[in-house]
């Protein structure tokens, strides 16, 4: 029987919400990884292993793994880090390599850097991206300079995208030997010049699994779509209430469907107009509609972080997001209606749904 887990990373540990495929009732676990900030959780489709990017005030940043659906965790012996004075502040994400790359993992860290392992995380090497000619244009955004989104093309293991905040989107087509910035069409209002090559502040980057050339990004300066793997970007912000936000989710069965939650400027960084609204597009960003049934529409001034929204692979898609107030909301009908499935958790950092057969 199919089941759904939602791995909820918070400032004080990992919680697991579990349901059957109907997604009507949810059970919330006791905290795992207690006391750790959980930046990101991923499921490796090659073997089912879970990886969690964590940070502890005393023990620092590590990657932990689980082979029993998140019940127990072990720490990888080495963490990816810069070999110079930059070291390691946090690990923002871990992404499995492609189906033909057993043992390959990618990790994005702060200070911004991309690292690669070919032995399941036992050792790490720095990517050539870290010494790209444009790295001088990278700068801290909101206090952090991080590489946070890593996407491997499911149809071509050699093609990978990364996003840096602030630095922009980068793409490789040769397995990581060389990289190019792909930011044409994206605004960077905080930089001089109308069309910088790099330095853009990407908040979240996703590619559609059925059509990897279809990319979406939520940016400091708008929401964008690319139909050619990032070579050109189209601004799709026009029908949204603001051009600022962090979270972004897709419907895995439809490349034209995306979800965002706009926030009120980089100064306020809370939901626009005090309304908790999920905006959905069904035509690749030409039009957006607010999907609000079940969500508070007054005095709701919450924040959402870049890993705080995602969708499952059922039909209709389940969509989930978590807030700074420790609430997790779920929709089992692709955004038509919402209900809280967890309340009063620590601040939510990341949301990762996974469907088990």
CATH number for domain 3-356, candidates 2.60.40.10, 2.130.10.10, 2.160.20.70, 3.30.390.10 = 2.130.10.10
The tens digit of pLDDT for each residue in 301-334 reads: 999 999 999 999 999 999 999 999 999 999 999 9
Q: What is the pLDDT of residue 314?
A: 97
The answer to whether 327 touches 320, Cβ cutoff 8 Å, is: no
- Is pLDDT at 195 greater than 90 in this prediction? no
pLDDT band at 268 (very low <50, low <70, confident <90, very high): confident
pLDDT digit string (tens) for 16-49? 999 999 999 999 999 999 999 999 999 999 999 9
Give the phi and the psi of residue 348 in degrees, each rounded to 5: -85, 130
Residue-level pLDDT at 143: 73
Closest C-alpha to 247, from 223, 266, 274, 211: 223
**Is pLDDT of 294 > 90?**
yes
Element (H, E) at 72: none
Whether 213 shows a pLDDT value over 80: the answer reads: yes
**Residue written as tokens 């127990």?**
72
DSSP 299: S
**What tens digit of pLDDT does each residue of 128-143 get?**
999 999 999 999 987 7
Q: Which CA distances in Å does 197 have to 124, 183, 191, 228?
A: 29, 6, 11, 17
Asked whether the CA dihedral 76, 18, 343, 266 is positive or negative, the reply is positive
Q: What is the pLDDT of residue 211?
A: 97
Helices (H), the chain: 265-268
Is it the case that residue 267 has pLDDT exceeding 90? no
Q: Is 35 left (phi over 0), alpha (psi -120 to 50) or beta?
A: left
* pLDDT average, residue stretch 282-298: 98
- 94-105: per-residue pLDDT in tens? 999 999 999 999
- Confidence category of residue 193, pLDDT binned at 50, 70, 90: confident
Q: What is the pLDDT of residue 1?
A: 76
- Any residues with CB less than 8 A from the CB of 75 and at least 6 apart, and which? 62, 63, 64
Q: What is the mean pLDDT of residues 272-285?
A: 97
Contact call for residues 322 and 340 (beta carbons, < 8 A): no
* pLDDT reading at 353 higher than 80: yes
Residue 16: the pLDDT is 98
Write the pLDDT tens digit of every residue in 53-76. 999 999 999 999 999 999 999 999
pLDDT score recorded for residue 46: 95
**What secondary structure does DSSP assign to 165-228, as a single string?**
ETBEEEEESSTTSS-EE--TT---TTSSSSS-SS-B-EEEEEE-SS-TT-EEEEETTEEEEESS
Mean pLDDT in the chain?
Answer: 96
38 vs 36: CA distance, rounded Å? 6
Q: Where are the domains of the chain?
A: 3-356
pLDDT of 357 > 90? The answer is no
């Amino acid at each position: 029987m199919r089941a759904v887990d939602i791995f909820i990373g918070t400032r004080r540990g990992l919680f697991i919400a579990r349901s059957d495929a109907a997604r009507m009732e949810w059970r919330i676990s006791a905290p795992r990884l207690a006391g750790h900030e959980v930046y990101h959780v991923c499921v490796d489709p090659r073997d089912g292993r879970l990886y969690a990017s964590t940070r502890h005030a005393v023990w620092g940043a590590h990657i932990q793994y689980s082979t029993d659906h998140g019940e127990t965790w072990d720490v990888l012996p080495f963490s990816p880090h810069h070999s110079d004075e930059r070291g390691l502040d946090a690990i923002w994400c871990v992404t499995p390599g492609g189906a033909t790359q057993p043992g390959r993992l990618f990790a994005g860290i702060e200070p911004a850097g991309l690292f690669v392992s070919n032995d399941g995380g036992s050792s790490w090497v720095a990517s050539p991206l870290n010494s790209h000619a444009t790295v001088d244009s990278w700068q801290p955004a909101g206090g952090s300079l991080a590489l946070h989104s890593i996407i491997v093309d499911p149809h071509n293991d050699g093609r990978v995208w990364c996003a840096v905040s602030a630095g922009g989107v980068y793409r490789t087509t040769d397995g990581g030997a060389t990289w190019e910035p792909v930011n044409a069409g994206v605004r960077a209002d905080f930089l001089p010049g109308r069309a910088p090559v790099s330095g853009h502040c990407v908040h979240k980057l996703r590619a559609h699994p059925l059509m990897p050339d279809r990319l979406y990004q939520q940016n400091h300066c708008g929401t964008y779509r690319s139909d050619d793997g990032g070579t050109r970007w189209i601004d799709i912000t026009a029908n949204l209430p603001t051009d600022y936000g962090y979270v972004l989710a897709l419907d895995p069965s439809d490349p034209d469907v995306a979800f965002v939650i706009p926030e009120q400027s980089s100064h306020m960084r809370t939901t626009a107009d005090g309304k908790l609204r999920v905006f959905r597009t069904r035509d690749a960003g030409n039009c957006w509609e607010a999907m609000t049934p079940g969500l508070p529409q007054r005095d709701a001034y919450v924040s959402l972080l870049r890993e705080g929204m995602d969708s499952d692979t059922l039909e209709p898609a389940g969509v989930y997001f978590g807030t700074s107030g420790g609430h997790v909301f779920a929709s089992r009908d692709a955004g038509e209606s919402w209900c809280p499935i967890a309340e009063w958790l620590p601040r939510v950092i990341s949301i990762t749904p996974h469907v088990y057969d």
